[in-house]
């Protein structure tokens, strides 16, 4: 029986070589071996997990990075967690640096809050704790029935700005939308830099007429109930909006304003900060506007570099000088396609979180000087 002297094991739940790099870095920092398991896809694309050593009574940490095939990665995590649960692991802690479906954390039209569904599935599979980083919305922690440690990548990105950007004192932090202003303000205050906010960028339009607020459709004054000609619908408070003479004030239609930049970026280094960079069209458009306003260098700092579809090519052809992301998501292929993409290693804080949880130590050290708005 190969049991770690430290009483815990660290497994990688990913079937691809590129996605095990972060797991290897974490185990090297912890001074333990990566747990022996096999994760693979059968010919019919079913996920199979074989744990090759005893885990009875131990604390198990499953490291799962999320590649482009998000749904396969989720199934790998669920199947491995359930396999460890049925093999009598004491605690099963998921280390998921980028939490998938985190953008689907609010109700949209007749959709669903998929992030809440995923949280329930992870709990059912056997997870008892999660370590993640920079959730898209901090309120997502409330979806879980077990503890969630939401670590921050900002100390590493701030350090990169100070060490790798020449003359960063001449920089200005930019929020590419008002919704990103809090994050940008935090960076600006910590670096003692100015702040600029862009307003008027393209956003997904949401029609109130299509989100169910007008269901059932309004009744005309002469309409009667189906199948009973002449029988009028009884008046109740629930149906009062459907009757003529009672009208609620209509909201004015939104009109997208022209793109404006609140703040002076002329002759400055512009640093756009965000949590996720996936489709880069908005970032490219923002970079063009900043260039027109006089910024002479443009950096993008983000925690999770998904960089889907044509993102590397668009970045390479754009006015963006550098895109800096962490290794929460594998992006080696994208780096080969675009030399402008740089990586910051966050394995140190993930390894320290694992060590502290296993030893029952306080996690406060990892959140020192972190405020509610960070």
CATH of the domain at 191: 3.40.50.2020
Question: 76-108 in b/e burial notation, b at 16+ Cβ within 10 A?
Answer: bbbbbbbbbbeeebebbbbbbbbbbbbebbeee
Residue among 198, 110, 190, 121 at smallest CA distance from 157: 190
- Same domain, yes or no, for 316 and 172? yes
287 with 332, same domain: the answer is yes
pLDDT of residue 302: 96
Helix (H, G, I), strand (E, B) or coil at 294: coil
Q: Per the domain annotation, does 236 fall within a domain?
A: no
Choose the final residue of a domain: 151, 168, 193: 151
Do residues 26 and 143 share a domain? yes
In a shared domain, residues 195 and 113 = no
Is there a domain that residue 94 lies in?
yes
Q: Is the pTM of this model over 0.75?
A: yes
Query: Are 168 and 305 found together in one domain?
Result: yes
Residue 227 in domain: no
Alpha-carbon Rg for the chain, nearest whole angstrom, is: 25
Q: Which of 64, 60, 12, 5 is nearest to 32 (CA)?
A: 5
Residue 19 has what pLDDT?
Answer: 80
How many structural domains are present in the chain?
Answer: 2
Cα separation, 4 vs 237, whole angstroms: 67
Using the 3D structure, point to which of 151, 171, 190 is the last residue of a domain: 151
- Does residue 121 fall inside a structural domain? yes
Are residues 182 and 145 part of one domain? no
- pLDDT on residue 244: 61
Q: Is residue 194 part of a domain?
A: yes
243 lies in some domain: no
How many CB atoms lie under 10 A from the CB of residue 256? 11
The dihedral sign for the CA sequence 50, 11, 336, 307? positive
Tell me, yes or no, whether 85 and 13 share the same domain.
yes
Q: Are residues 189 and 79 in the same domain?
A: no
For residue 23, give its domain range.
9-151
Whether residue 264 is contained in a domain is answered as yes
Q: Which residues lie closer than 8 Å to 116 by C-beta, 6 or more apart?
A: 105, 143
* Residue ending a domain, choose from 111, 134, 151: 151
Q: For the CA atoms of 64, 58, 116, 103, what is the dihedral angle to 10 degrees?
A: -30
In three-state form (DSSP H/G/I as H, E/B as E, the rest C), the secondary structure along 100-142 is CCCCCCCCCCCCCCHHHHHHHHHHHHCCCEEEEECCCCHHHHH
Identify the pLDDT of residue 210.
Answer: 44
Strands (E), the chain: 8-12, 37-41, 47-51, 59-63, 91-96, 129-133, 148-151, 171-175, 194-199, 260-262, 269-277, 297-305, 322-326, 341-344
Residue 363 lies in a domain: no
Predicted pLDDT of residue 243: 53
Confidence at residue 236, expressed as pLDDT on a 0 to 100 scale: 52
Digit-by-digit pLDDT tens for the chain (374 residues) are: 344 445 899 999 987 787 889 999 999 999 999 999 999 989 999 999 999 999 999 999 999 998 878 999 999 999 999 999 999 999 999 999 999 999 988 888 888 999 999 999 999 999 999 999 999 988 899 999 999 999 999 999 999 999 999 999 999 999 998 889 999 999 999 999 999 999 875 544 444 434 444 444 544 444 444 444 544 545 555 555 555 667 778 877 777 777 888 899 999 999 999 999 998 999 999 999 999 999 999 999 999 999 988 999 999 999 999 999 999 999 999 999 999 999 999 999 999 999 999 999 999 989 888 877 67
DSSP codes joined into one string, 202-245? ------GGGTTTTPSPPPPTT---TTSTT-PPPP-GGGGGGSTT
Claim to verify: residue 147 and residue 159 sit in the same structural domain: no
Q: Clarify whether residues 120 and 139 are in a common domain.
A: yes
Residues 94 and 118 occupy one common structural domain = yes
173 and 321 together in one domain: yes
């Amino acid at each position: 029986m190969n049991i770690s002297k430290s009483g815990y094991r660290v497994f990688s739940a990913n079937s691809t070589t590129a996605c095990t790099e972060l797991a290897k870095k974490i185990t090297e920092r912890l001074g333990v071996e990566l747990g022996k398991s096999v994760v693979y896809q059968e010919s019919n694309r079913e996920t199979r997990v074989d744990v090759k050593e005893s885990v009875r009574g131990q604390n198990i940490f499953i490291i799962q990075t999320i590649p482009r095939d998000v749904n396969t990665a989720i199934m790998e995590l669920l199947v491995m967690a359930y396999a460890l649960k049925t093999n009598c692991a004491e605690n099963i802690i998921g280390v998921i640096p980028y939490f998938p479906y985190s953008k689907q954390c609010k109700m949209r039209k007749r959709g669903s809050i998929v992030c809440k569904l995923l949280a329930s599935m992870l709990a059912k599979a056997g997870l008892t704790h999660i370590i993640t980083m920079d959730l898209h919305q901090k309120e997502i922690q409330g979806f879980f029935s077990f503890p969630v440690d939401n670590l921050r990548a900002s100390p590493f990105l701030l350090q990169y700005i100070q060490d790798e950007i020449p003359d960063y004192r001449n920089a200005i932090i930019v929020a590419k939308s008002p919704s990103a202003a809090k994050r940008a303000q935090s960076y600006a205050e910590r670096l003692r830099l100015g702040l600029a906010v862009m307003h008027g960028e393209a956003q997904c339009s949401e029609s109130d007429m299509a989100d169910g607020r007008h269901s059932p459709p309004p009744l005309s004054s002469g309409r009667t109930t189906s199948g009973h000609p002449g029988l009028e619908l009884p008046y109740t408070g629930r149906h009062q909006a459907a009757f003529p003479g009672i009208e609620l004030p209509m909201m004015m239609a939104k009109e997208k304003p022209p793109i404006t930049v609140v703040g002076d970026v002329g002759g400055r280094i512009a640093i756009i900060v965000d949590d996720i960079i996936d489709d880069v069209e908005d970032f490219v458009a923002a970079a063009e506007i900043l260039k027109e306003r006089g910024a002479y260098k443009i950096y993008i700092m983000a925690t999770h570099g998904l960089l889907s579809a044509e993102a590397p090519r668009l970045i390479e052809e754009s006015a963006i000088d550098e895109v800096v992301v962490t290794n929460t998501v594998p992006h080696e292929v994208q780096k080969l396609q675009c030399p402008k993409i740089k990586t910051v290693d966050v394995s140190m804080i993930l390894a320290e979180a694992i060590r502290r949880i296993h030893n029952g130590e306080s996690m406060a050290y990892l959140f020192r000087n972190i405020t509610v708005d960070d």
